Amino acid sequence: MIDEATFFGEVSDTREEILEATYYALCEHGYAGLTISKIGTHFEKSQSLIYHHYDDKDGLLLDLLEYMLEQLERQVPFPDAAPEEYIDVVVDEMFDETGSQGGAFTQAVIELRAQAAHDEEYHELFRRSDDFIRKQLAQIIRTGADRGVFDVDDPKESAALFQTVLIGVQTARLTADTGTIAEAKAEFRRYVDTCLRA
């Protein structure tokens, strides 16, 4: 749901340059393999600048997540398209694996999400991000219900299932083959067509 290509289109200061370098190093090495030194190889200025801005790897990654979340909230992905058409775009994006550096970013995000198990700052950022996306989804579904193109019990319940499936696809992709992901997508489309559309 995040279009990283637009994130760093207008890198304007050292912080954004560091965050961009972190993004690419994270895609390349994953959370476990990431070090400040590896981030430095994606950073054109002196590596000491990174240490000047951040205490450690987690401080930097938390700032990257925060930055991406702010961009996401500013972009507000709520579309002009009709809900009955846009919902198909949403389903495609949920199951899409071509974006985000060939899935490397999504994979890294799952590693970061696992940190939420024992780190309150990761926990809070993912909770905020999930809340934001779920509310956007509920708004799309509610608009469709108001216009009579969707027939649902409660837009919040539908949005909660969408989000569960989105997180499930991202996590399952660590181990599932593309055939299984495609099967899950076919069944989720069947759910959207049978349970959501009026």
Judged by beta carbon, residue 18 or residue 27, the one nearer a second copy is 27
Nearest distance, CB of residue 195 and a second copy, angstroms: 5
Full DSSP string of 23-60? HHHHHHHHHHH--HHHHHTT-SS-THHHHHH-SSHHHH
Would you call 2 exposed, middle or buried from its count of C-beta atoms within 10 A (0-12, 13-18, 19+)?
A: buried
Nearest to residue 58, comparing CAs of 18, 29, 31, 27? Answer: 31
Question: Are the C-beta atoms of residues 97 and 105 closer than 8 Å to each other?
Answer: no
Judged by beta carbon, residue 54 or residue 122, the one nearer a second copy is 122
Nearest to residue 65, comparing CAs of 57, 138, 45? Answer: 57
Judged by beta carbon, residue 33 or residue 102, the one nearer a second copy is 33
Judged by beta carbon, residue 71 or residue 171, the one nearer a second copy is 171
Nearest distance, CB of residue 121 and a second copy, angstroms: 12
Binding residues for a second copy, per CB under 8 A? 30-33, 107-108, 110-111, 113-118, 123, 126-127, 130, 134, 153-154, 156-161, 163-172, 174-176, 180-181, 183-184, 186-188, 190-191, 194-195
**For residue 12, what is the DSSP state?**
-
Judged by beta carbon, residue 49 or residue 160, the one nearer a second copy is 160
Nearest to residue 91, comparing CAs of 7, 174, 178, 184? Answer: 184
Nearest distance, CB of residue 8 and a second copy, angstroms: 23
Nearest distance, CB of residue 106 and a second copy, angstroms: 10
Q: Compute the chain's Rg from CA coordinates.
A: 18
Judged by beta carbon, residue 64 or residue 138, the one nearer a second copy is 138
Close Cβ partners of 11 (under 8 Å, ≥ 6 residues apart): 17, 20
